[in-house]
Structure 1
């Protein structure tokens, strides 16, 4: 494993998620400050890009440049128009049993969106969940089912959708058809077996890797935030861990970016507990330099 020097990009946040490199800046959300931000690579020039009172999550951009953002607690996707206002892009409420969370948007403007499937913060038992596709006109279609907390997702340059299943010990892959439909689920990386029980106290410790947010590199490997083990791991197809970074705290999302694509940004916090994080300003964005640049979407 490489010896990475970890740098602090930004401090004093509540709980950052969904980092994206876009137009020369790092974009991200803060769940409990209810805002979308962007910041320069070195942590300067922090800007508020949108206010999302019902808790922002996944980010993406339509081909024309409009920003899409998941609004978790009212189960919507919002679109930021050219004048900066937010309008409803899609209503997901009839299609999800838990909060919608991360997403990835393809080159045609189709958003693939995961959701919790159950009430995580109340400690309910795990229920599997569907993956949704939201087309540019806002229509919603279920494109996969029975996923164990579909979370961080990427689309490879050759059109494969990779989806982290946070409680499933795996990253799943789907071929994307021309019409946006998905082929059968395949194991892209398998770290262990599915949980033997659905209660969190049993299931979470069985996670060899608990994959949360992720980003793709130009060698086809995924950098994955391991939400239970305080690390980010670089994984090749099949599940072999090639490298890891331990930023010294919990880490729940990551993305490659920077001027040459080799800065790995990490969303860090002591834990993911809603009550603890919303009451504190302990979250940080940290970074390291890696050797292989970014690829794919987002």
Structure 2
């Protein structure tokens, strides 16, 4: 197992940072608590790229033609997937009101299919009410409900695909559009599905267990970068072998490979306080060099 120590801080003093995507020469990410999306280059030059209270980005992605997609954090006005048109206007890409509450992550594949997942329950309330002395698994605690993955096809139609996902988090699609991998954070594993020609999911199986995955990305060796459930980012092979580990001083919420050659590993980390999740400023964007370049989506 390799260890990587040349970690540098690109941006500091943020709140909760999530949904990193390498796009058009920069790392884009959502800055939860500030209600904006930001972008930073490899030298640490950062700027706000989306500041619209009506949007308040929770997770982002791009269609193959370059139009931006956003799941808004505030879903009180209705669960929906928004699309930004070339003239800057926002339109509804899909009506998600038929899905359970708790929308979380999205990934767009190379064909323009969009996969959106959700917890199926109110995560912040669930975490605030957790009894630290309760020995039961999180999936057996009061307030838990199974999560889901939904497919939105290019015509905007919503197809509920899979349920019984133990708090779905980050997702990635392989470069051949043939496999979707999702973090089941409450089950401590990465789960893989085959993707059929129509975008539907089948052949569910465990990709890797024994970790605490959140946001994920894929590399050219077929490995997945994610969190270990503690304060390290890990590179895990199918079957569960940890190939590389990056030790941090705070938990990584999400990771993304990017840079000119795809070998820069960006890690979004912060201290998590469920009693005041967006009140601190421990959020950081960190970077190091990875052994294999990025492939697939996001």
**Which TM-score applies when normalising by structure 1?**
0.88
Secondary structure at 2:215 match in 1: strand
Answer whether contact 1:36 1:52 (CA < 8 A) is retained: no
- Tell me if structure 2 keeps the 8 A contact 1:99–1:117: yes
Give the equivalent residue in structure 2 for 1:111: 114
The correspondence of residues 16-31 of structure 1 with structure 2, limited to 5 A, is 16-31=17-32
Aligned-residue Cα RMSD (Å) equals 1.6
Q: How many residues align?
A: 278
1:296 Cα deviation after fit: 0.9
Q: 1:180 aligns with which of 171, 196, 199?
A: 199
- Residue 270 (structure 1) aligns with: 271
The reply to whether residue 82 of structure 1 matches residue 86 of structure 2 is yes
Correspondence 1:230-241 to 2 at 5 A: 230-241=231-242
Partner of 2:226: 224
Q: Is the 8 A contact 2:39 2:49 kept in 1?
A: yes
For residues 23 and 225 of structure 1, the distance between their equivalents in structure 2, rounded to whole angstroms, comes to 25
Q: Does 1:92 align with 2:86?
A: no
Q: Which residue of 1 aligns with 2:170?
A: 152
Q: Which runs of 5+ in 1 are unaligned?
A: 192-208
Is the alpha carbon distance of 1:50 and 1:89 closer, same or farther for their aligned partners in structure 2, counting shifts above 3 Å? farther
CA distance in 2, matches of 1:256, 1:183: 27
- Secondary structure of the residue aligned to 1:184 is strand
Whether contact under 8 Å (1:58, 1:104) holds in the other structure is no
1:1-298 pair list within 5 angstroms: 1-53=2-54, 55-74=56-75, 75-96=79-100, 98-123=101-126, 124-158=142-176, 159-191=178-210, 209-226=211-228, 228-271=229-272, 273=274, 276-298=276-298
**2:158, 2:21 → 1: CA distance?**
24
Unmatched runs of 5 consecutive residues or more in structure 2: 127-141
Alpha-carbon distance in 2 for matches of 1:254, 1:176: 23
CA contact (8 A) 2:269 2:285 kept: yes
Shift of 1:86: 2.0
Larger CA deviation: 243-252 vs 214-223: 243-252
